[in-house]
Structure 1
Amino acid sequence: MRKALFLTLSTAVLFVSCNNQEDNYVAIPSDNYPNVEATFGNTIDLTNLSNYANQVIPPYITKDNSALNPVTDKGATLGRVLFYDKNLSSNNTISCASCHQQANAFSDTNVASNGVNGTTGRHAMRLINTRFANESKFFWDERAASLEIQSTMPIKNHGEMGFSGVDGDLNFDALITRLNAIGYYKELFEFVYGTEEITEVKIQNALAQFIRSIQSFDSKYDSGRALVANDNQPFPNFTAQENQGKNLFLTPPVFDGTGSRTGGGIGCAGCHAAPEFDINPITGNNGIIGVLNGTGIDITNTRAPSLRDLVKTDGTTNGPMMHTGVITSLQAAIGHYGTINIAPGNTNLDPKLTPGGNGQRLNLNANEVNAVIAFLRTLSGTNVYTDNKWSNPFSN
């Protein structure tokens, strides 16, 4: 049966839910969709869809922001095509995946990503476990009220994908016209929604389902967390150094009256709580206020991706960190939080970083730094980098 329509008054966005596979799904012979078969070959089989809807989620993971637009196999399949399709840019050269690359935890190794008319204004955020977070707003400055809204904003950006309707660009309606002329989209939208009609809301829902399906729970951390009752217990599969780093991460610091740490841990979990390691929605600026293009300061950046897959399991970075890409290693990230300078004009600095009104000084020694790095590396898995269901379907 067709699921209901949901209207969220807070964001004024209509979510048209796709059919779940559980809802009397009947496999359709592939010869009913010749354009899909001709375009994608074996990478997309509509008679045997990849599993997006029923992936294994550990029982200790409790956050889930997908209720209004649940992940379905059909919807995420369409979303995968849209995510990788360069037809969604005005000059057919850029896709969502151009800036969010599977090999780099769906981020970019460039500080600024290339668009059709220049480069992005901020570093491309990693798209790992976006479903498992309390924070539902998107972009570093949280200007998108939901992932659904966010998903088409780069398409309508002059610099990124070029369907802005300004500065000589075609508008979004021109993209809809283009997609309507592509045979595999007629078939895919009919397959997912029961009609060939293509709308922005349907595009948004499918893209959001695919992005929310990208999950990473095969890390050393997850193997250890499954063996204990809570995060505060030592993980039996961890080294002594990794357990020390975990304790430092989870334990709040003790400060003196000048903002200097005198005991406890370093309190990373105050903003990035285990086991999801997502960003607390009530978080201010982290002290990095630079801009990529132009001059001045930018204090609006208060969102961050999950800390999962900050680096690969071998410690290789998935690209620079922070909205400016100014941090290029875990050591540098820890160093930034080790000494917080209250810059003139930064009226949005998170108060957790300013105990007693002073910029925190964590006074970490080398052993503590190395322990935190060792722990952060346990948050990285391997499957997210290689799983075919998140790969480019046009590479057949």
Structure 2
Amino acid sequence: MLKKITALLIISISFSCGNDKEEYVSIDTYPNAIAAFGNNINLSNLANYANQTIPSYITKSNVGANLITDKGATLGRVLFYDKKLSSNNTISCSSCHQQANAFSDVAVASQGVNGTTGRHSMRLVNNRFAVENKFFWDERAINLETQTTMPIKDHGEMGYSGANGDEAFSGLITKLSAIGYYKELFKFVYGTEEITENKMQLALAQFIKSIQSFDSKYDAGRALAANDGQPFTNFTAQENQGKNLFLTAPVFDATGNRTSGGLGCAGCHAAPEFDIDPNTRNNGIIGTISGIGIDITNTRAPSLRDLVKTDGTTNSPMMHTGVITTLQAAIGHYGTINLAAGNTNLDPRLRPNGFGQQLHLTAPEVNAIIAFLKTLSGTNVYVDSKWSNPFLN
């Protein structure tokens, strides 16, 4: 017999006088949730999503009006890992965004229900700590909430497109509405069993927004420094050199050759969040995974945090084509920017004085910037159970 757990909620009721009164309300038991998740989710003692510690030096946020709640993010976690959100019950959001790889995919193109993705799957870490609030490589989603259900509606990815023989998204709503644990969870979060796309979007976005990483060597050093420009006392000389190269703008001659200064990485990936400047344009990579045609609309990028695991291995291929697989190759790409025919969207910061930038990197500079980028990797994001698969099977 399944053990029944009764959760007690505190509901705050406001009166016209402005005083609040707390009333304890017993809500229904959740046998279907217990059967599906066991002890992985405890509805009477939810994981902390809403009040995680954020360093004082982190000031950027695109969280918007959909604030993270423990209940909403818990539902979002279930939706994120549930393969029932795909038309043939084989693909979930987590299939392409894996916790073991900082919520990215080791494959260049992720597997969907009807083929593979056209672009590499981005890491999801720290996506809310940014000025940029649009999503996908080409920023076609106006916010994270809109983004969350677009892969579900994609014919190739999760298959509820309403075209090419697919059911419409309404078919998914009908499917989920018949599942016991969703009846319980939607009532738990929203007060009613009714499932809507908007409710799904809110919950999924809250879970994704909760995925954060601030336990890196960089964070330990930054907490002891007044600003990023100071030498970090926990860094090696090489790591501090790499930090300076990252932060310092290069000086170019009339034909785009660096004559002094650093690499200027912070011009597009500003510390301490290391998110992407929303005004960034194409970075010089214009290929496609298929090898057919060019793609110059890629202007977004994930945070540079957790590019690699702490052992130095990459979490996934980099760039929208997955064409770059090492930090050395990534730095080398920016070291020599070619003005490719047809790329009318190249970021002006990469073509000083009208020429593709030539950084003329030395081996010690390359090694230093790699050493610094490795300091941006934490450990908790890979192992924290609140971001893990909640399903028993």
- Matched with 2:168 is 171
- Matched with 2:120 is 123
- In the aligned structure 2, how far is the partner of 1:262 from the partner of 1:364? 11
Report whether the alignment pairs 1:156 with 2:153. yes
Displacement after TM superposition at 1:239 (Å): 0.2
Label 1:237 to 1:175 Cα distance change in 2 as closer, same or farther (>3 A). Answer: same
- Matched with 2:230 is 233
Displacement after TM superposition at 1:25 (Å): 9.4
Q: Structure 2: which 5+ residue stretches go unaligned?
A: 1-10, 14-20
Q: Do the aligned partners of 2:221 and 2:235 also contact (CA within 8 Å) in 1? A: yes
Aligned-residue CA RMSD (Å): 1.5
Q: Do the aligned partners of 1:27 and 1:47 also contact (CA within 8 Å) in 2? A: no
Label 1:253 to 1:2 Cα distance change in 2 as closer, same or farther (>3 A). Answer: farther
Q: Do the aligned partners of 1:78 and 1:188 also contact (CA within 8 Å) in 2? A: yes
Displacement after TM superposition at 1:33 (Å): 1.2
Match of 1:81 among 60, 72, 78: 78
Q: Do the aligned partners of 2:133 and 2:143 also contact (CA within 8 Å) in 1? A: yes
Report whether the alignment pairs 1:346 with 2:340. no
- Matched with 1:110 is 107
- In the aligned structure 2, how far is the partner of 1:353 from the partner of 1:2? 54
After TM superposition, the score normalised by the length of structure 1 is 0.93
Match of 1:290 among 278, 287, 292: 287
- Deviations along 1:193-231, one digit per CA (max 9) or x if unpaired, are 111110000000000000000000000000000001000
Q: Do the aligned partners of 2:269 and 2:276 also contact (CA within 8 Å) in 1? A: yes
- Deviations along 1:112-141, one digit per CA (max 9) or x if unpaired, are 000000000000000000110110000000
Structure of higher CA gyration radius: 2
Match of 2:217 among 211, 217, 220: 220
Displacement after TM superposition at 1:395 (Å): 3.5
Q: Do the aligned partners of 1:28 and 1:46 also contact (CA within 8 Å) in 2? A: no
What does 1:312-351 align with in structure 2 at a 5 Å threshold? 312-351=309-348
Q: Structure 1: which 5+ residue stretches go unaligned?
A: 4-22
Label 1:351 to 1:393 Cα distance change in 2 as closer, same or farther (>3 A). Answer: same
- Matched with 2:18 is none
Q: Do the aligned partners of 1:52 and 1:72 also contact (CA within 8 Å) in 2? A: yes
Q: Do the aligned partners of 2:173 and 2:196 also contact (CA within 8 Å) in 1? A: yes
Displacement after TM superposition at 1:34 (Å): 1.2
Displacement after TM superposition at 1:66 (Å): 1.1
Matched AA of 1:347: T
Matched AA of 2:71: K
Q: Which secondary structure does the structure 2 equivalent of 1:297 belong to? A: coil
- In the aligned structure 1, how far is the partner of 2:61 from the partner of 2:130? 6
- Deviations along 1:21-63, one digit per CA (max 9) or x if unpaired, are xx9696867x611111111100000000000000000000001
Identity of aligned residues (%): 77
Displacement after TM superposition at 1:67 (Å): 2.8
Displacement after TM superposition at 1:2 (Å): 8.8
Displacement after TM superposition at 1:292 (Å): 1.1
What does 1:122-271 align with in structure 2 at a 5 Å threshold? 122-271=119-268
Larger CA deviation: 288-297 vs 272-281 = 288-297
After TM superposition, the score normalised by the length of structure 2 is 0.94
- In the aligned structure 2, how far is the partner of 1:27 from the partner of 1:370? 59
